[in-house]
């Protein structure tokens, strides 16, 4: 104990760590009415960490070669001690990450924290969301199963509907006319190098914006729930008299993290194949298309939209428009009010949109 | 209860939980990374006698490492580990001089594995073998 104190003293006189702790942890005050939804970001950081670590471990035995990929994954599952655990953590984690990401986005939406001055926070977050989709899509191909192969065939094929450049774009995405070894090479590079590096950069930007602007005040339990930002000069939103981040809110973060881990490990241990249709266990065969090829659950709505419209271009355009609208939401929705119940139009659109998405997902699942 | 006793007790419980979680994570990761021995380590190797003519050497995998069989000019057989006793390079058979040369730091051995020059501190390890029905069995 005394030794530890002397070590900290030694560091403190040199770099002033106690001042950093005072400023960033114990003296970092959060709004008094902060709630559990604000811990979703920390949960996401933990999930991202788990994905990176389990991913690096998988790289030790995974072979990114069309002839060997499926066998190497099978051997991770059956031969390598605890290989099943590492792989299941990675595969299940990719799904639960999307769940938590959706919760994070929904809470930011309903509490109006995307509104100015936090447009950049929303924008970086939204780009992170598309990157999570991209990293899932590219990771899906790597086991080189029937599911991987045909889901990628269908997903890349949808770009065909884009006028003029469509067919060339599809070939560029695949690296060949059809999905094949060339596709595996580029998806592997995207999945393990480019997208993770980009995500780290964007998480950095996301947290930087959060830090500079200050945490938003949730609109619950207050008289005035409008956004006080003037917009004439830079101003950090402080919360005098608020709750210290450490230890108070750190405990709440930890509680959410452990609740998440309990749910996550429950799936890993008791229903690991929850997200695995049976085509995931058959090696890829470029000459045999399986009967019901479906994307992952969070792409089912997109899949169903493409199916509804006889003209794929309409389906694709609608999705592009919806994504662009969401990305630019803080620039469209410029009202000052943050409380969801005092924003009827927003509430209507948000709940309507959510129900539409859920409906399309269920439809896509059963169609 | 003595002063601070409750705090200390809870601190120990917390430390125990953290240690338990750390062990539950590190043990599978260690097992995942640990080299897997066992497979093939004790397997015997059979080589037909005609594969090793007089004055020649035959290299093969044995017990997860490299080994060599030599038939000397006098017709007798020797089985050796091919791992140089200096820093572990694999020795080469020199047919003209009828000896082993380690290319890494020029260690020289006789066909029996005895060091004749260079840095190797010990002779090459001899391997047990038997010959029966035209086949050499090592191990
Ligand atoms: C890899 C994914 C992500 C990570 C690791 C992450 C992490 C975080 C963290 C740690 C915070 C601070 C605590 C909190 O309010 O939860 C935060 C805040 C925020 N995030 Fe994210 N986030 C991610 C994705 C997103 C996405 C997809 C969006 C929306 C499109 C988004 C929008 C926001 C906004 C607007 C805030 C500010 C909230 C406030 O100050 O009230 N984030 N994020
Ligand atoms: S390793 Fe063989 S001589 Fe140095």
The predicted-structure confidence for A295-322, as pLDDT tens digits, reads as follows: 999 999 999 999 999 899 999 999 999 9
pLDDT at A120: 97
Give the mean pLDDT of chain A: 96
Tokens of A344: 């009827």
Q: What is the CATH number of the domain that holds A269?
A: 1.20.810.10
Q: Is the pLDDT of residue A283 over 60?
A: yes
A88: domain range?
A: 39-214+245-293
pLDDT band at A251 (very low <50, low <70, confident <90, very high): very high
Pocket of ligand 1 (CB under 6 A): A 38, 40-42, 44-45, 48, 101, 104-105, 108, 113-114, 118, 121-122, 125-126, 128-129, 132, 203, 206, 210, 215-216
- Flag if A85 and B28 touch (Cβ within 8 Å): yes
Nearest-ligand number for the alpha carbon of B105: 2
Q: Is residue A153 part of a domain?
A: yes
Report the b/e string of A84-109 with b at 16+ CB within 10 A: ebbbbbbbbbbbbbbebbeebbebbb
Q: Hey, what are A189's tokens?
A: 């590079």
Other residues' Cβ atoms within 10 Å of the Cβ of residue B82: 25
The string of pLDDT tens digits covering residues B65-124 is 899 999 999 999 999 999 999 999 999 999 999 999 999 999 999 999 999 999 999 999
- Name the pLDDT band for A228 (thresholds 50, 70, 90): confident
Q: Of all protein residues, whose CA lies closest to atom 1 belonging to ligand 2? A: B87
Please report the sign of the dihedral spanned by the C-alpha atoms of residue B96, residue B99, residue B100, residue B104. Answer: negative
Residue B42 has pLDDT above 70, yes or no: no
Contact state of A82 with B28 under an 8 Å Cβ cutoff: yes
Angle between helices A119-141 and A181-189 (to 10 degrees): 150
User: Does 3.30.390.10 match the CATH number of domain B39-138?
Assistant: no
Counting ligands in written order, the one closest to the CA of B100 is 2
Q: How far apart are CA B69 and CA B51, in angstroms?
A: 10
Please tell me the predicted confidence (pLDDT) of residue B39: 53
Extended strands (E) in chain A: 29-30, 243-244
Per-residue model confidence as pLDDT tens digits over A180-214: 999 999 999 999 999 999 999 999 999 999 999 99
Percent of chain A with pLDDT over 70: 100
On whether the CB atoms of residues B93 and B68 are closer than 8 A, the answer is yes
**A154-173: average pLDDT:** 94
pLDDT in tens, B17-26: 999 999 999 9
| Domains contained in chain A, number | 1
Tell me the CA distances in angstroms from A251 to A39, A47, A255, one per residue in order.
10, 17, 6
Whole-number Å distance between alpha carbons of A351 and B5: 52
pLDDT of residue B115: 97
Q: Is B31 on the interface with A (CB under 8 A)?
A: yes
pLDDT above 90 covers a percentage of chain A that reads: 95
pTM: 0.88
DSSP characters over A282-328:
SB--TT---S-----GGGHHHHHHHHHSSSHHHHHHHHHHHHHHHHT
pLDDT at A231: 87
User: Using CA atoms, how far apart are residues A168 and A156, in angstroms rounded to an integer?
Assistant: 11
The Cα–Cα gap between B25 and A185 comes to 31
CB A174 within 8 A of CB A180: yes
CA–CA separation, A62 and A69 (whole Å): 7
Give CA–CA dist A70/A174, Å, rounded.
19
**CA dihedral sign of residues A21, A24, A27, A31:** negative
In which element (H, E) is residue A204 found?
helix A195-213
- pLDDT, one tens digit per residue, over A344-361 is 999 999 999 999 999 999
pLDDT in tens, A89-120: 999 999 999 999 999 999 999 999 999 999 99
Peptide bond before A282: cis, by omega within 30 degrees of 0? Answer: no
Structure tokens of A166? Answer: 């469509």
Residue in A80, A258, A264 to test binding to B, most B beta-carbons within 10 Å: A80
Quick check: A86 pLDDT over 80? yes
Cβ separation of A57 and B32 shorter than 8 Å?
A: yes
Pocket perturbation via mutation, ligand 1, pick of A34, A38, A41, A227 by most ligand atoms within 8 A of CB: A41
A73 occurs within a structural domain: yes
Q: Are the C-beta atoms of residues B100 and B113 closer than 8 Å to each other? A: yes
**Residue A34 confidence (pLDDT) above 80:** yes
Locate the chain A residue with the closest alpha carbon to B27: A82
At B2 the pLDDT is 63
Question: pLDDT, tens digit, for every residue of A165-185?
Answer: 999 999 999 999 999 999 999
Residue A325 has pLDDT above 80, yes or no: yes
Distance in angstroms (rounded) separating the CA atoms of residues A229 and A217: 12
In the block, tokens 């070590």 appear at A7
Pairwise CB contact (< 8 Å): A81 & B29: no
């Amino acid at each position: 104990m005394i030794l530890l104190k002397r070590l900290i003293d030694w560091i403190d006189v040199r770099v002033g760590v106690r001042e950093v702790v005072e400023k960033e942890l114990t003296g970092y005050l959060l709004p008094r009415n902060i709630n559990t939804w604000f811990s979703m970001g920390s949960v996401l950081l933990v999930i991202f960490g788990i994905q990176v670590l389990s991913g690096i471990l998988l790289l030790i035995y995974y072979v990114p070669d069309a002839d060997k990929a499926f066998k190497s994954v099978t051997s991770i599952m059956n031969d390598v001690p605890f290989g099943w655990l590492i792989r299941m953590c990675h595969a299940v984690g990719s799904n639960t990450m999307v769940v938590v990401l959706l919760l994070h986005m929904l809470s930011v939406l309903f509490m109006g924290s995307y509104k100015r001055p936090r447009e950049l926070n929303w924008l970086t977050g939204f780009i992170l969301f598309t990157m999570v989709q991209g990293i899932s899509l590219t990771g899906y191909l790597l086991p080189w199963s029937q599911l991987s192969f045909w889901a990628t065939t269908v997903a890349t094929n949808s770009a065909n509907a884009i006028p003029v450049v469509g067919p060339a774009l599809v070939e560029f995405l695949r690296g060949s006319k059809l999905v094949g070894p060339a596709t595996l090479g580029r998806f592997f590079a995207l999945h393990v190098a480019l997208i993770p590096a980009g995500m780290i950069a964007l998480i950095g930007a996301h947290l930087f914006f959060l830090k500079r602007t200050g945490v938003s005040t949730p609109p619950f339990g207050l008289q005035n729930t409008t956004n006080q930002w003037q917009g004439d000069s830079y101003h950090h939103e402080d919360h005098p008299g608020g709750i210290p981040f450490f230890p108070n809110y750190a405990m709440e973060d930890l509680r959410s993290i452990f609740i998440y881990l309990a749910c996550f490990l429950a799936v890993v241990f008791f229903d690991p194949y929850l997200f695995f249709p049976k085509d995931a266990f058959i090696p890829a065969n470029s000459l045999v298309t399986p009967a019901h090829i479906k994307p992952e659950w969070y792409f089912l709505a997109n899949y169903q939209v493409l199916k509804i419209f006889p003209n794929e271009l309409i389906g694709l355009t609608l999705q592009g428009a919806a994504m662009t609208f969401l990305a630019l939401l803080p620039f469209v929705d410029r009202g000052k009010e943050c409380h969801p119940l005092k924003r009827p139009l927003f509430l209507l659109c948000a709940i309507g949109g959510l129900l539409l998405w859920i409906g399309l997902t269920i439809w896509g699942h059963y169609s | 209860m003595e002063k601070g006793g409750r705090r200390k007790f809870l601190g120990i419980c917390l430390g125990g939980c953290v240690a338990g979680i750390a062990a539950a994570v590190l043990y599978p990761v260690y097992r995942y990374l640990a080299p897997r021995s066992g497979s093939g380590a004790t397997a015997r190797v059979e080589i037909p006698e005609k594969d090793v003519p007089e004055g020649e050497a035959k290299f093969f995998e044995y017990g997860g490492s490299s080994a060599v069989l030599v038939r000397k000019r006098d017709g007798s057989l020797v089985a050796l580990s091919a791992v140089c006793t200096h820093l572990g390079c694999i020795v080469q058979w020199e047919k003209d001089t009828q000896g082993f040369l380690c290319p890494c730091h020029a260690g020289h051995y006789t066909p029996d594995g005895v060091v004749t020059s260079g840095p190797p501190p010990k002779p090459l390890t001899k391997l047990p073998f038997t010959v029966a029905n035209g086949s050499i069995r090592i191990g």
